[in-house]
Amino acid sequence: MNILRIAGWTVYCDSLCPIRQCAREKQMETCGGCPEMKSCEKVGAIIGNNPDARGRLENAGSV
């Protein structure tokens, strides 16, 4: 499967994803370093059901 990526992000992520848009508004590469991540409604549906995704975001935020 070929996915168009721009600087490491897919076109969807960079242009349409509300989670990515929120991180960009806060001048963050990902939401992993955001102090509001654990209570965020935007990312909550993903990290609430996928502990691996939460761990990856937290690790990305600490880099």
Question: pLDDT tens for residues 3-36?
Answer: 444 455 566 677 788 888 888 899 888 888 889 9
Segment 58-63 long-range contacts (CB within 8 Å, at least 24 positions apart) = 58/32, 59/32, 60/29, 60/30, 60/32, 60/33, 61/28, 61/30, 61/31, 61/32, 61/33, 61/34, 61/37, 62/32, 62/33
Confidence of residue 38 (pLDDT cuts 50, 70, 90): confident
Confidence of residue 63 (pLDDT cuts 50, 70, 90): low
The confidence score (pLDDT) of residue 1 equals 45
Confidence of residue 2 (pLDDT cuts 50, 70, 90): very low
